[in-house]
Amino acid sequence: QVQLVQSGAEVKEPGASVKVSCKASGYIFNTYAIHWVRQAPGQRLEWMAWINAGNGNTKYSQKLQGRVTVTSDTSASTAYLELSGLRSEDTAVYYCARGNLPNDHWGQGTLVTVSS
Amino acid sequence: EIVLTQSPATLSLSPGERATLSCRASQSISGNYFAWFQQKPGQAPRLLIFDASNRATGIPDRFSGSGSGTDFILTISRLEPEDVAVYFCQQYGDSPRTFGQGTKVEV
């Protein structure tokens, strides 16, 4: 069965960077895109970025452009999200989700807390 | 970007009753690329409906989706206690993908 397993919770200081991983199994990794979505406390879900796991093409939210980078390692069936210049408002649960069109499978989420 | 507005914010019903959740888009959704998700506390979102009206794999037939253009509906025909969750909508026809703010269903 399709599974996306994310790395564990992180606590970071303001200004630092964080890298979250998303390991896929149960399907051919390079045939689907991986999207990254975050959910801050009390806020609606926010789409952050997308990577075509087949050819490495990426697209980023304009709001986060310049601070966010998504990559993938097809040999490890793993996608990565890196967010730099962390601020308190980046405190959120970060999800990866599979999907060329609908996001049909999601990771369990990774809590990133930004605090001094 | 397309703004999705859900109503009501909270829906309190009894087991066996019908729930009707609404999502309105600020502009027409291309290709009817519209989805509904269920999210229980501490869990990841679960895809219920895609392309506005297609049930995802393993989703009970008491869940149905309808609508087109700017107005979409999720119907839960006979509520069960396990349906307690936040339901939110998403459009994936236009970039960036956007989400509604959610409707909390209480049973």
* Distance in angstroms (rounded) separating the CA atoms of residues B38 and A15: 34
CA distance B42 to chain A (A): 9
Q: In terms of Cα–Cα distance, which of B76, B70, B75, B68 is closest to B52?
A: B68
- Which of the four pLDDT bands, split at 50, 70 and 90, describes residue A101? confident
B57 neighbourhood in chain A, CB within 8 Å: 104
Segment holding A81, helix H or strand E: strand A78-83
pLDDT computed for residue A16 by the predictor: 97
Give residue-wise pLDDT tens across range B47-82: 999 999 999 999 999 999 999 999 999 999 999 999
- Return the ∠ at Cα B4 (arms to B3 and B6), rounded to 5°: 145
Instruction: Name residue, tokens 């789409």.
Output: A47
pLDDT above 70 covers a percentage of chain A that reads 100
Pick the residue from chain A with its C-alpha nearest to B44: A108
C-alpha span between A43 and A29 (Å, rounded): 30
Question: Amino acid identity of A76?
Answer: A
- If contacts are CB pairs under 8 Å, which of residues 8-27 in chain A contact chain B? none
Please tell me the distance from the alpha carbon of residue B50 to that of residue B65, in angstroms, as a whole number.
8
Confidence of residue A90 (pLDDT cuts 50, 70, 90): very high
Per-residue confidence (pLDDT) for residue A100, from 0 to 100: 85
Residue bearing tokens 């895609």: B50
Any B CB within 8 A of A60 CB? no
Report the percentage of chain A scoring pLDDT > 90.
93
pLDDT tens figures, A19-74 = 999 999 999 999 999 999 999 998 999 999 999 998 999 999 999 989 999 999 99
Distances (CA, A) of A86 to A8, A13, A60, A95, B70: 17, 7, 17, 17, 36
Token pair for residue B59?
């989703």
Mean pLDDT score, B15-25: 97
Q: List CB contacts (< 8 A) between A47 and chain B.
A: 96-99
